[in-house]
């Protein structure tokens, strides 16, 4: 997607073909700055400090982190140390361990001298696969947008509501929930995005709004509280969110507050779609509410807000009484019954065991035989 008119990925090789360039997302939306990762510790720091975030991008950064380390020292012990250091950065991220398993599998049988080149190649392939998956999600979602656009009586842009950031900043390019939006925009379909601020970390206000603005997509930031009202007034044609974890029955675990928007969409007859790569489906789960533990994050994310002060510096300010306790559950579960459909790189399906079995026949064969 574009930044200042120039197409780029959220992670890419530096000009020397060895360093790895990321966007420092902690500075957005107020400052766009790239940062070059040169050694393993740059990569672990970037993930820990959330300069990169979003499951696919964390995986891609970890893969390049292994490559950076192989360049320094390609022994078995060095490979093991790199994987352990990267795994420790965000212990709960599913894509992180997936990407590191991929790197380990493709490197461990090789002689050390061959590992650097293979590591860079595999990391690049992980990035390219992510881009291809997101583009495919975009194409499938685009068909939904085109159909809705044709059916509407009114003129004016199609209004899409999204929550949190499931855009290109969370992936390598395109994004998941936003991929259909970017494709529609690039193909000349009039589209406008309602961007949920997404408290407490404000990923909507700071990241989604920024990336849509840079790419030239019409959008408006709203409080998380406003989406239901807009749906009541017919001002939302479609909701699309991402998913952090999806059960085999179509329950969706995503950023806290997603469930409330799904309820409002159902109450107002607004289609509610969830876009996700296959890698976020947890085939071992069948009941999201009962089985998915919800991460409770630091209350300071809620009690302190980061923003730009009058001097242009990014600072934190406290918004709650110092003596008031704060609770900060990071995700919620939207039951499949509230989800109109799931959009994966394979296509669109009903959010149900049967729907997913249709898109993933090899999985239903597996469970039948187990």
Active site residue 244: yes
Interface stretch with a second copy, choices 114-122, 167-175, 229-237, 355-363 (CB under 8 A): 229-237
DSSP 234-247: T--SEEEE--SEEE
Q: Which is nearer to a second copy, 325 or 361 (CB)?
A: 325
Rounded CA separation 168/242 (Å): 12
Question: How many other C-beta atoms are found inside a 10 Å radius of the C-beta of residue 82?
Answer: 27
Name 11's bridge partners: 22
- Per rule CB under 8 A, is residue 347 in the interface with a second copy? no
Residues in the chain: 370
- Per rule CB under 8 A, is residue 177 in the interface with a second copy? no
Name 196's bridge partners: 222
Rounded CA separation 59/253 (Å): 19
- For residue 294, what are the CA distances in angstroms to 41, 90, 245, 255, 326? 29, 15, 11, 10, 16
CB of 266 to a second copy, least distance (A): 8
Name which of residues 101 to 130 contact a second copy (CB under 8 A).
Answer: none
5: Cβ contacts below 8 Å, ≥ 6 apart: none
x/- site string to a second copy, residues 315 to 344, per CB under 8 A? Answer: xxxxxxx-xxxxxxx-xxx-----------
Rounded CA separation 181/324 (Å): 40
Interface stretch with a second copy, choices 132-140, 204-212, 269-277, 360-368 (CB under 8 A): 204-212
* Cα angle, residue 139 at apex, residues 283 and 135 outer, rounded to 5°: 70
- Per rule CB under 8 A, is residue 225 in the interface with a second copy? yes
CB of 102 to a second copy, least distance (A): 33
- Per rule CB under 8 A, is residue 138 in the interface with a second copy? no
Per annotation, catalytic residue among 130, 173, 237, 244: 244
Rounded CA separation 61/85 (Å): 13
Q: Please give the size of the binding site for a second copy, defined by CB under 8 A.
A: 65
x/- site string to a second copy, residues 252 to 281, per CB under 8 A? Answer: ---xxx-xxx-xx--x--------------
Name 195's bridge partners: 162, 221
Residues recognised as catalytic: 244
| Residues near a second copy (CB under 8 A) | 29-30, 194-195, 197-200, 202, 205-206, 209-210, 212-213, 219-230, 232, 255-257, 259-261, 263-264, 267, 289, 294, 302-310, 315-321, 323-329, 331-333
């Amino acid at each position: 997607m574009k930044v200042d008119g120039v197409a780029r990925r959220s992670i890419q090789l530096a000009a020397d073909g060895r360093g790895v360039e990321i966007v420092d997302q902690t500075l957005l939306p107020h400052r766009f700055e790239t940062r070059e990762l040169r050694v393993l510790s740059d990569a672990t720091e970037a993930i820990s400090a959330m300069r990169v975030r979003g499951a696919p991008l964390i995986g891609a950064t970890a893969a390049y982190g292994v490559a950076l380390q192989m360049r320094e020292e390609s022994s078995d012990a060095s490979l093991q140390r790199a994987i352990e250091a990267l795994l420790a950065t965000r212990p709960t991220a599913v894509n992180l361990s997936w990407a590191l398993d991929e790197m380990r599998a493709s490197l461990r049988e090789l002689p050390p001298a061959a590992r650097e080149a293979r590591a860079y190649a595999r990391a690049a392939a992980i990035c390219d696969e992510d881009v291809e998956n997101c583009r495919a999600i975009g194409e499938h979602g685009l068909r939904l947008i085109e159909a809705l656009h044709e059916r509407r009586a009114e003129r004016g842009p199609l209004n899409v509501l999204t929550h949190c950031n499931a855009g290109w900043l969370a992936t390598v390019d395109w994004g998941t929930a936003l991929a259909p939006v970017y494709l529609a925009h690039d193909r000349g379909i009039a589209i406008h995005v309602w961007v949920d601020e997404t408290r407490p970390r404000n990923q909507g206000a700071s990241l989604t709004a920024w990336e849509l603005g840079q790419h030239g997509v019409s959008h408006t930031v709203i409080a998380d509280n406003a989406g239901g009202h807009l749906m009541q007034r017919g001002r939302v044609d479609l909701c699309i969110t991402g998913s952090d974890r999806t059960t085999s029955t179509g329950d969706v675990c995503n950023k806290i507050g997603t469930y409330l928007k799904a309820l409002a969409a159902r109450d107002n007859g607004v289609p509610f779609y969830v876009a996700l790569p296959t890698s976020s489906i947890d085939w071992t789960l069948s009941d999201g509410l009962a089985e998915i533990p919800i991460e409770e994050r630091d209350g300071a994310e809620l009690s302190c807000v980061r923003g730009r002060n009058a001097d242009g510096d990014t600072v934190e300010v406290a918004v709650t009484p110092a003596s008031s306790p704060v609770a900060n559950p990071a995700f919620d579960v939207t039951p499949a019954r509230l989800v109109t459909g799931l959009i994966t790189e394979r296509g669109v399906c009903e959010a149900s065991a049967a729907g997913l079995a249709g898109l993933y026949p090899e999985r239903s064969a597996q469970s039948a035989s187990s």
